Amino acid sequence: MSSLNLDDFTDLIERPDGGVRRDAEARRERLVVPPGALGRLDDLGEWLAAAQGCVPVRPVDRPRVLLFAGDHGVAELGVSARPAGTADVLVRAVLAGASPVAVLARRLGVPLRIVDMALDCDPQALPAEVVSHRVRRGSGRIDVEDALTAEEAETAFRAGMALADGEADSGTDLVVLGDVSVGGTTAACVLIAALCGTDASVVTGRGGLAIDDLAWMRKCAAIRDALRRARPVLGDQVQLLAAVGGADLAAMTGFLLQAAVRKLPVVLDGVVTAACALVAQRIAFRAPDWWLAGHDSGEPGQAKALDRMALEPLLAQGVTVGEGAGALLALPLVRSAAALAAELPERAGEEAAEAAEDKPEE
C-alpha cells in the first residue's frame, strides 16, 4: 500500500513571506527611481524578497537548469515532428553542448542537469548520472493504455521530490525547469484539458517543430481518446499521471511540489512544465506562489494552464524549441530585478541631507 499522502503538501507548503513582501514594497517606495518606472521588475524584486524571506533581496547566484527526459508511446501515432523514441538524440545534443539550452546555459554560466526518467534507449548509451533515476524504458501509449503503472508513477513522483531536496540542500537558489521529450506535449495537453474541462482542440498546439495539419489532427484525436481515459481518475493526481502522463511528467510534478515545500523558486518553461504545475496546483493550491512563468511559447495548452494558475509569462519571444531554453532566457531578467531591488539607493539619505541644510542655525 502506498505511503504517499498528497494531502501533506497542502499543510507543508506556505506562501512566500507576506510581511517581507510588504517590507520590500515599502523599500521600493523609497528608492531613487520612481515606483512603476521599472515595470514588472518591481514586482519580480518584491516576489524574490518574499521567496527568500529577506530585504533587500539577495542576488540569484546559484541557479540551475534541470531537464527531465522521456519518450512517450503516443508519439507512435505521428503526433510529433520527431520520430517516436528519439528523445535520446536530443539529450545527447544537450550533453554535447550543441542545443539552444546548452549554449544559453554555457553563456550565462548556469549548470545544467538532465534526468532520464523514461527514455526509450539502452541506458548504457548515456552517462550514469543521467540514467540513475530511470523508471522504465518509454511510457505507454496513453490513447489506449496507461503511461505507467501506479507503482512507477509513485516512484517517478518521489524521484522528483528527492531531486528538489537535493537542489535545496546543495544551495541552489532558483531552478529553471524544462523537459526533453518526444510526444510530451501531447501528454501535457491531455492533463491540461482534463483539469480545465476543455476539449482537445482548445489545447492542441503544433509542438516545437510546427507539425502540419494532418499531424495536428492526429494529435487532436490522440488527446481526445486519452481524455476519455483521464476523466475517471481526475480525483487522484498520481493515478492521473499514471494513466495519461508519463514518468518525466510525474517526476516534474513531484519536483515542483517539493521545491515549494523547500521554498525553492522555479521558472517554468513551456506547455509540459505548465501541465505538471497545473497538476501540482490541484494537489496544493499555494504551490504556484513559488513559480514564475518564464515565457509564452505560443502553445494554447500552456496559455490555458498559466491562466488557470494566474501566472503571467515574463517574456514573449516566440521560442518553441522547448528544453528549458525559453525559461532560461528569462533568468537575466530575474537577476536584473534582484540587482535593482538590492542595489538602487534610497531617497532617505538625500532627504535627510536636504532637511539638515534647510534647518535654521541656533
The grid coordinates listed for 90 are 536530443
Residues 224 and 296 in one domain: yes
3-class secondary structure, 174: strand
79 and 155 share one domain? yes
Residue 355 reports pLDDT greater than 70: no
> In sequence order, what are the residues at sequence separation of 6 or more whose Cβ sits closer than 8 angstroms to the Cβ of residue 68?
114, 115, 117, 160, 177, 178, 179, 180, 248, 249, 251, 252, 255
Alpha carbon distance 267, 254 (integer Å) = 15
- How far apart, in whole angstroms, are the C-alpha atoms of residue 123 and residue 352? 66
Choosing from 46, 129, 323, 351, which is the catalytic residue?
323
Note whether 349 and 204 are same-domain residues: no
CATH number for the domain spanning 312: value is 3.40.50.10210
Q: What would the pLDDT profile of 204-255 be if each residue is shown by its tens digit?
A: 988 766 788 898 999 999 999 999 999 999 999 999 999 999 999 999 999 9
User: How big is the chain, counted in residues?
Assistant: 362
Distance CA(82)–CA(44), nearest Å, equals 36
What does the alpha-carbon distance between residue 346 and residue 92 come to, in Å, rounded to a whole number?
49
- 21 shares a domain with 78: no
Shared domain check, 125 and 43: no
**Confidence (pTM):** 0.93
| Domain match, 221 and 310 both | yes
Helix (H) or strand (E) holding 290: none
Asked, for residue 4, whether it belongs to a domain, the answer is no
* Domain match, 154 and 252 both: yes
Residues of the domain holding 113: 63-335
Helix (H, G, I), strand (E, B) or coil at 179: strand
Confirm whether 3 is domain-assigned: no
- Per-residue confidence (pLDDT) for residue 209, from 0 to 100: 67
CATH code of residue 44: 1.10.1610.10
Cα separation, 290 vs 86, whole angstroms: 33
Residues 298 and 351 in one domain: no
Residue 128 domain flag:
yes
Q: What's the total number of domains in the chain?
A: 2
- Residues 189 and 330 grouped into a single domain: yes
Active site residue 323: yes
Is the pLDDT at 135 greater than 80, yes or no?
A: yes
**Mean pLDDT confidence for 16-32:** 94
Q: Are residues 137 and 220 in the same domain?
A: yes
Alpha-helical regions (H) of the chain: 7-12, 18-30, 40-52, 87-95, 100-108, 128-131, 150-169, 184-196, 200-203, 213-230, 237-244, 247-261, 271-283, 300-309, 325-329, 331-343, 348-358
